């Protein structure tokens, strides 16, 4: 389950996603190929695959079976990772991978990651730290130890005016801010911690691009561009132990409606919906 699933269910994506009802929810998926259609196919019956199905006609990961086109954004699951782990990777893992790439070269940069304990934030913190960046991770206090384990240089309490603490650590301003959770007002405050010439990225599409440009800050409203190649990269990094997946729990189909309600999914990790 992803925040994106909740956004689709709430109607927040109605202008970006043309839905046909009845709509089966669920974007990220992992499973075993049960059948293939006529003509060339990239996978065979019995192959373990995973991917993101955010295309018209392909939504429906909360299901026993899902049909996808031959060119759908899916990839093979390495033997070293389970299907449950694979199901947590597509949207969070590829988003983090592409965010990290957008900040290259990241060695010696100081990057504030807001929402660092979430799935995207956790993967991104690991990728940036591995590339040599100094990561200031903003998260809730109970998540601090886990985020430190991802390689964060410092962990900042999200409930205690993060901008002030970021400025205390980096008076001249961070090279980049990646904010995965904030509303427009909070993002604007956090963007004040970015140095002139730096970058402020929002994945919730709340960055004031023109306003920040006047402060010589490059603002980006980031959207992931899913590819099979990036799925393969994330899977390989996870299989080799270079990426640590978030805590995982599994639930049943009947649990999904309550979890999709605002505040319904309070689990500190990734929730995987598993068919009986």
The per-residue pLDDT for range 3-61, each reduced to its tens digit, is 888 888 887 777 777 777 778 888 899 999 999 998 888 999 999 999 998 765 556 88
CATH topology of domain 91-221: Rossmann fold (3.40.50)
In 7-130, DSSP assigns E strands to 28-32, 48-52, 74-76, 110-114
- For the chain, the structural domain boundaries read 3-88+245-273, 91-221
State residue 263's pLDDT score. Answer: 62
**Residue whose C-alpha is closest to residue 151's, from 176, 182, 116, 119:** 116
State residue 190's pLDDT score. Answer: 97
State residue 46's pLDDT score. Answer: 97
Q: Is the pTM of this model over 0.75?
A: yes
Flag residues of the chain having pLDDT under 50. none
CA distance 95 to 171: 29
State residue 186's pLDDT score. Answer: 96
Asked whether the beta carbons of 26 and 62 are under 8 A apart, the reply is yes
Alpha-carbon distances of 45 from 31, 57, 111, 255, rounded to whole Å? 11, 22, 44, 30
State residue 127's pLDDT score. Answer: 98
State residue 178's pLDDT score. Answer: 98
Question: DSSP state, 142?
Answer: G
Q: With respect to CATH, is domain 3-88+245-273 assigned 3.90.180.10?
A: yes
């Amino acid at each position: 389950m992803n925040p994106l699933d909740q956004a689709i269910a709430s109607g927040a994506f109605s202008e970006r996603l043309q839905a046909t009802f009845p709509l089966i929810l669920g974007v990220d998926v992992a499973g075993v190929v049960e059948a293939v259609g006529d003509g060339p196919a990239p996978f065979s019956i019995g192959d373990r695959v995973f991917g993101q199905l955010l295309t018209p006609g392909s939504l429906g990961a909360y299901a026993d079976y899902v049909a996808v086109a031959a060119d759908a954004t899916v990839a093979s699951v390495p033997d070293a990772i389970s299907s449950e782990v694979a199901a947590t990777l597509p949207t969070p893992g590829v988003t983090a991978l592409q965010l990290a790439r957008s900040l290259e070269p990241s060695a010696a940069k100081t990057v504030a990651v807001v929402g660092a304990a979430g799935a995207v934030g956790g993967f991104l913190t690991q990728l940036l730290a591995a590339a040599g960046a100094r990561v200031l991770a903003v998260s809730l206090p109970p998540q601090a130890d886990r985020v430190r384990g991802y390689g964060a240089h410092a962990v900042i309490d999200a409930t205690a005016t993060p901008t002030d603490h970021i400025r205390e650590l980096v008076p001249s301003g961070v090279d980049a801010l990646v904010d995965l959770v904030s509303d427009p007002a909070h993002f604007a405050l956090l963007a004040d911690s970015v140095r002139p010439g730096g970058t402020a990225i929002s994945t919730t599409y709340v960055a004031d691009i023109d306003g920040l440009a006047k402060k010589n800050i490059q603002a980006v409203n980031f959207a992931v561009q899913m590819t099979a190649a990036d799925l393969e990269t994330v899977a390989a990094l996870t299989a080799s132990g270079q990426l640590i997946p978030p805590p995982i729990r599994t639930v049943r189909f009947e649990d999904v409606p309550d979890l999709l309600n605002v505040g319904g999914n309070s689990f500190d990790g990734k929730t995987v919906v598993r068919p009986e």
